[in-house]
Amino acid sequence: MGIRIIGTGRYTPERLLTNADLEKMVDTSDEWIVSRTGIKERHIARPDETTSDMAAKAAEAALEIAGINADTLDLIIVSTVTPDMPFPNTATIVQKKIGAAPCVCFDIEAACSGLLYGLNTAYGMMASPLKYKRALVIGAEKLSSIVDWTDRSTCVLFGDAAAAVILENDGDPETPDFYADGVVSANGNYGDILQMPAGGSAMPASHESVDNHLHFIKMGGPKTFQLAVHSMVEACRTLIERATIPLEKIRWVIPHQANWRIISAVAARLDMPERVYQNVERYGNTSSASIGICLDELNRSGQLEKGDYVLTVSFGAGLTWSALLIRW
């Protein structure tokens, strides 16, 4: 159908929070953080800098490289667990900030799997009889707003960022789709291992919920690691088995940048360590923005050529997971 990626973009806040900085805040050390996560620094948004601010800047970067105006977009999807507010949705706020015309706008909440959920959704809508021509898919997170900075087991992991991908249907049946194959799934039985307990209808904000730090990320470490590795590896193997292309034609594997131990375990089990892209040491875990950041870095550095295949894979709270084989 000729649906292809025509632009990528990313944005990270100016402030850097290094491991040395964290040593002054909680009982931790650079050696402890690096040995367990591979993270050396992360970007932190200003107090007045919102998720939609970062999303809009990533979108503008993607629009520039795509060479199109925002008012030509037919669809805007934002994946985030840190929306500016419960409603209106963040996509509509981004729509206003980038000067887009009236179009379909909605948010997706699939945690770290969100960008791939969004790309799968956008592709389905563009390939439908609705025939949307251009779609903007964003992963944006201000995780610093939901991190407990007194909890050394989680505060060292996360950073703030946004990444954007623009899709276009050129209507040429001879143009191969960017979407070669995909897997999207979830298992709600594991929803309690990674969550923010308070702030929703199940536990509205109260003095008690605030006093008990229930508006922050809560994570069960060992179980999260096991499920993350298993779900990502199985999703990749499913796509590899279904693909009608030689394995050596997959130029890059981009896993969700949660931490280096997870990335290394996935790379080892797939037996493709030399093709696994990672940048977690510079950003930390940016949730739904992480794969988009990697994709933009590869795109802008000239490490992607027409016809290359990129295998992307993610997992997140829910437990959600997704893999997408991209044809560049």
What would the pLDDT profile of 159-210 be if each residue is shown by its tens digit? Answer: 999 999 999 998 888 889 999 999 999 999 999 999 999 999 999 999 999 9
Nearest residue to 234 via CA among 121, 321, 114: 321
Angstrom distance (rounded) from CA 84 to CA 317: 19
Angstrom distance (rounded) from CA 235 to CA 92: 32
189 is catalytic: no
Task: List pLDDT tens digits, range 126-163.
Answer: 999 888 999 999 999 999 999 999 999 999 999 999 99
Between the CA of residue 249 and those of 21, 155, 174, 252, what are the distances in Å? 42, 38, 21, 9
Max Cα–Cα distance, the chain, nearest Å: 60
From 103, 105, 112, 294, active-site residue: 112
What integer pLDDT is reported at residue 208 of this predicted model?
A: 97
Return mean pLDDT, the chain: 95
Angstrom distance (rounded) from CA 82 to CA 144: 9
User: Interhelix angle for 290-300 vs 51-66, to 10°?
Assistant: 30
User: Could you tell me what percentage of the chain is helix, strand and coil, using 3-state DSSP and rounding each to the nearest 5?
Assistant: 40, 25, 35
89-96 long-range contacts, CB within 8 A, separation 24+: 90/51, 90/52, 90/55, 90/140, 91/138, 93/52, 94/52, 94/55, 94/56, 94/59, 94/138
43 is catalytic: no
Nearest residue to 168 via CA among 102, 101, 122, 130: 122
From 19, 89, 259, 285, active-site residue: 285
Strand partners for 310:
252, 326
112 is catalytic: yes
β-bridge pairing 218-219 and 75-79: unpaired
Are the C-beta atoms of 256 and 316 separated by less than 8 Å? yes
What integer pLDDT is reported at residue 266 of this predicted model?
A: 94
10-residue mean pLDDT profile of the chain (328 residues): values are 94 98 97 96 98 98 98 98 98 98 98 98 94 96 97 96 97 88 96 94 96 93 88 94 86 96 94 93 98 98 95 96 96
Angstrom distance (rounded) from CA 109 to CA 160: 16
From 236, 256, 259, 294, active-site residue: 256
